[in-house]
A = this chain, B = another copy of it.
Amino acid sequence: MPNVVSPRDKALALTELWSPRVIAEIDDAYVKVAKVRGTLAWHSHEDEDELFLVLKGHLRIEMEEGPVHLDEGEMFVVPKGVRHNPVADSECLLLLIERKSTLHTGGVVTPKTRSLDDQLRPV
């Protein structure tokens, strides 16, 4: 049986930035948490939407149409195929929902890119 988890507590416990960690699965998607500060990388997911929910702090998602600003408790779904770049000017805790097939930096490999095995390490 799955466990009760507090996404915020799990995200607070993270020690590495931009290192998403899986805390639950729902069918073919993973629920992840991440602690972020700074800039990830411009990328897109051609076949998968991606949900961002801010657990603490503020996130800016840069997109070609302009940035989206998320305050604590706010949520946004980046549609499949849309190039985006998450930026946090100060430390920010996130809940993410991504397909199990989703590469978290899309087709772009950067020093911040983490393997799925890495993301599946228990928090």
Give the B-binding residues of A (Cβ under 8 A).
Answer: 1-9, 23-27, 29, 31, 48-51, 53, 65, 68-70, 73-77, 79-80, 97, 99
Contact = CB atoms under 8 A, between A and B. Distances in A.
Copies of the chain in the assembly: 2
Given A1-B65, A65-B1, A97-B97, A75 B6 contact: yes
Given A31-B51, A51-B31, A65-B1, A77 B8 contact: no
A75 to B, nearest CB: 5
A9 B4 CA distance: 23
Given A48-B27, A49-B27, A73 B7 contact: yes
Given A26-B97, A49-B25, A31 B1 contact: no
A30 B44 CA distance: 21
